[in-house]
Chains A and B, each alone.
Chain A
Amino acid sequence: MNVIQPIQHPGKPAAATLGLVDVDIHPRAKSIEEFRPFLSARWWEHLTTWGMRQRHGYTGGQPPFPKAQPMASRRDAWPPGGTPCSDLDFMRFQLLDNYGTDVGILNPLQPSGQGDRNNGFSAAMAHATNEWQLEAWLRKEPRLRGSVVVPYEDSAASAAEIRARAGDPNFAQVLMMSRTAEPAGNPRYWPIYEAAVEAGLPVAFHAFGYSGWAMTNGGWPSFYIEEVSEHATSCQNQVISLVVEGVFERLPGLKVVLIECGFAWMPSVAWRLDGHWKHLRSEVPHLTRAPSEQIRDHIWVSTQPMEEPERGAHVLDICEWIGWDHILFATDYPHWDFDDPREALPGIIPPERRRDIFGGNARKLYGF
């Protein structure tokens, strides 16, 4: 964290014998001008005049909970004259080449139009973001895969964007943010999941976004440290909603990936649902399988940020309960809490498990 270390021994971790797949890299445009070719004159004018309008009060990208460091990024991640992860060559040098990454999945955050209050603008921006990924990154670097950014509050437009990308091997998954305007299992979002299953793409939820609701169910917190830790609670609610609404029973082919959401909380959520489902089954007759089984079968998690137990061995319990084959490696480059592939996984995790987390599990899930 925030420690700049000289590159000493480029190369992938020794245990990554099935390859190193990084499921969380955040590319950024050098300037918003990069999006101009992919937006109509009408939406370009909208973007430059009105800007993005998130479900919070600030313009200009200023978040209501200021980050703990500029652009939430590593201090050493600024390429000459640019912003973090906006320069392919610099990113190759600092990430892909340095760690011997075999496949890196791009998850563009803002500006991407996701969660914008204006659905038409959100759809135009999402489309532009996908075109920009192809133009600026994917066609230039074969190690990279993109995520289909969707305007998720408009599920029809999202489904259309997914169908337009179906079959393009440049895209590995569909991307949503974790703080949606309604719980993710709500039927309003089902067309997104149906289109993803049809296209054979997992749906990833990356921690972030603004739902418009208070960031806790008991009101607005005060601090950035709370905003960050509350990503876990938001994601818990999303898992609960996806299960209880019956999304996985309806779409047995749906695969969900939770990125940067943490995961040590998942066994407890599954157990709680199992126990109380037994008492409340008459309300939810559409749930025929135990919630814990649905979670085990349909949900994958990424490592960064891994919860850090006070006793290292406890992480083994968590991984066992979640399923060793559902854990994917992520760096979160270029953000401040970046996980170094050579140092991030606790030493207590045995080599064959590290091998699967570094590459084997992602290759199975995404078909790389």
Chain B
Amino acid sequence: MTSPDPALRAIDCDVHPMPVSLRSLSPYMDAFWADQVVERGMTGLDSQSWPIGSPKTIRADWRDAKGRGASSVEELRAQALDPFGVDIAILNPLYGVQLLFNEDMCRAFTRALNDWVRAEWLDRDPRLRASIVLPMHTPEQAVDEIERLAPDRRFVQALALVMGEVPLGRRQWWPVFEACVRHGLALGIHAGSAYRHPQTSVGWTSWYLEEYAANQQAFQSTLASLVTEGALGKFPALKVVLLESGVTWLPAFLWRLQKVWKGVRFEVPWVDRLPAEIVRDQVRLSAQPFDAPADGVGRILDHLRSEEMLLWASDWPHWQFDGNDCIPPGIPARLLPKLLRGNALATYPRLAPTGAARQGDAA
């Protein structure tokens, strides 16, 4: 889909670099933690949200001889950046550092992960940008990590998992949102769990298919929390990006939340605008996966009532499509300039063209 049209030079909002093992991060730890990795025999932090063997986690033709993948810039270039004509790609590491229960270890390994991304990915290809993975034991830790990395403008977003310990709208997280706004960072929320709770509100699932599907519910709950707690209203400049969330659940969710809000809004008087309007103004979604058959996509886009909300992503190396069919079937061509590029530029202030202006971005 490489296009000579500058308006169609793609911004890929969701690619996933994967450390081969915890030892990959050791060079970025201080002596104490590097020693702990060895002395305690820690091997890897691959999360059950993304079992390495699952066909979903790494597309078959993107696996190396050992069955892994996404471990180097070279693979990213050959498998996604070049074939999809990507101008900019945002790295969202999903390595399971957020699952750790020891808050000191969580902070140390998260810092190492972010520094690994900077040294082994950002420094090796000028097309790359990244998210700051947040240690989420305490808001103070999360804000510290933002402050540490924000001076490097290649970090364009702060990143949390959609299933954490407490819902993301809760007041305790507001200093994190304040830091995002202050530094011009979007708040990315990606599918996946820190395993503080079962993947459903009715208990643990038996199958990975159920577990993967349940991210769709987590995004609904998280949006409900961000709206009803008043977090989005408090930080109107905050852009929230839902990553690998699926898209088609959003209209029905808004219809229900808005109806209930009309009935019981006296409980949350600080929500003083229609929830659907708040969400359309401040929330964006990556369009891979879309979760609809091609003939349903047009109707769902009509239900969304916005052309500004969807951001293109390959979700590399996750398997969402075959070959180079990286745009969900059914998306109308007229939407492509916004989907591929314009919406991302409007969402991420740090992607704004600097110096030599990028042609085609003026609109």
Contacts and interface: CB of A to CB of B under 8 A. Distances in A.
B209 A180 contact: no
Contacts of B362: none
B275 to A, nearest CB: 10
A173 B104 CA distance: 54
Contact of A225 (B162, B167, B228, B299): B228
Contact of A228 (B165, B217, B264): B264
B216 A268 contact: yes
Contacts of B216: 236, 268-269, 272
A226 B225 contact: yes
B229 interface: yes
Contact of A307 (B205, B229, B252): B252
Interface string A217-237: 111111111101110111011
A183 B203 contact: yes
B203 A305 contact: no
A184 B201 CA distance: 11
B234 interface: no
A273 interface: yes
A218 B54 CA distance: 23
A64 to B, nearest CB: 14
Given A272-B216, A280-B56, A308 B208 contact: no
Interface in A299-354: 305, 307-311, 314, 317-318, 321, 336-337
B224 A271 contact: no
Given A264-B251, A273-B213, A317-B303, A216 B55 contact: no
Interface stretch (B113-121, B123-131, B287-295): B287-295
Interface in A257-277: 262, 264-265, 267-269, 271-277
A240 interface: yes
A276 B212 contact: yes
B55 A279 contact: yes
Given A244-B210, A272-B213, A279-B56, A233 B203 contact: no
A323 to B, nearest CB: 15
Contacts of A230: 201, 221, 224
Contacts of A73: none
Contact of A1 (B167, B201, B249, B263): B263
B230 to A, nearest CB: 10
B258 A280 contact: no
Nearest to A308: B259
B6 interface: no
B27 interface: no
A100 B262 CA distance: 29
Contacts of B106: none
A282 B262 CA distance: 45
A218 B161 CA distance: 9
Interface in B300-358: 302-303, 305, 319
B260 interface: yes
B28 interface: no
B197 interface: yes
Interface residues of A, number: 69
Contacts of A264: 251-252, 255-256
Contacts, number: 247
Contacts of B205: 183, 241, 244
A236 B252 CA distance: 12
Given A232-B253, A307-B256, A220 B166 contact: yes
Nearest to B215: A217
Contact of A224 (B248, B255, B267): B267
B214 interface: yes
B118 to A, nearest CB: 28
A280 B212 contact: yes
B167 to A, nearest CB: 5
Contacts of A267: 248, 252, 296
A280 B320 CA distance: 11
A211 B291 contact: no
A309 B55 contact: no
B299 A317 contact: yes
Contact of B217 (A237, A280, A317): A237
A182 B248 contact: no
Contacts of B165: 218-219
B168 A218 contact: yes
Contacts of A240: 200, 210, 213-214
Contacts of B299: 317
B310 to A, nearest CB: 15
Contacts of B259: 305, 307-308
Contacts of B153: none
A236 B217 contact: yes
A283 interface: yes
A213 to B, nearest CB: 6
A147 interface: no
A272 B246 contact: yes
Given A221-B167, A237-B201, A305-B256, 12 more contacts: A183-B203, A213-B197, A215-B201, A217-B197, A218-B193, A221-B225, A222-B228, A240-B210, A244-B205, A309-B255, A314-B302, A336-B263
9 interchain residue pairs of minimum CB distance: A216-B221, A264-B252, A307-B255, A237-B200, A233-B217, A268-B248, A182-B203, A272-B291, A219-B166
23 contacts: A211-B202, A213-B197, A213-B198, A213-B200, A216-B201, A217-B218, A218-B193, A218-B196, A219-B164, A221-B228, A223-B268, A225-B267, A225-B268, A232-B252, A232-B253, A233-B221, A236-B217, A269-B249, A271-B296, A276-B209, A279-B56, A282-B55, A308-B255
Interface of B: 54-56, 162-168, 170, 193, 196-210, 212-214, 216-218, 220-222, 224-225, 228-229, 246, 248-249, 251-253, 255-268, 276, 289, 291-293, 296, 299, 302-303, 305, 319
